[in-house]
Amino acid sequence: MAKKLRQLGRYRIKHELGRGAMGVVYEAQDPLLDRTVALKTIILSHEMEGREDFHRRFFLEAKAAGKLNHPNIITIYDFGEEGDLAFMAMELLKG
């Protein structure tokens, strides 16, 4: 059984929102800015073929998405990595 994730970077995990083939999305709290975020995680497996390319592409896309500002696009607040997880902190939409 996998260890339950309680913190990733500065983000405190509240609970899981959903999961897919490559990662999990959590509701988390950013204590620095005192706001709730959606924290999307992607597993960066050492065995993954093309890991370096995937890693580079993930961060380029996060950086590009973080520059977008439109009412119909979720705001990206932050991105990073810790251990074998890359993560993106973004606006949490309820509904």
Q: Per-domain residue ranges for the chain?
A: 7-91
Which single residue is written with the structure tokens 């973080």? 66
Rounded to the nearest angstrom, the gap between the alpha carbon of residue 47 and the centroid of all alpha carbons in its chain is 21
CATH number assigned to the domain covering 7-91? 3.30.200.20
pLDDT in tens, the chain (95 residues): 456 889 999 999 999 999 988 789 999 999 999 999 999 998 877 555 666 787 788 889 889 988 999 999 999 999 998 988 899 999 999 87
Q: Residue 94's closest CA among 7, 14, 4?
A: 14
pTM equals 0.84
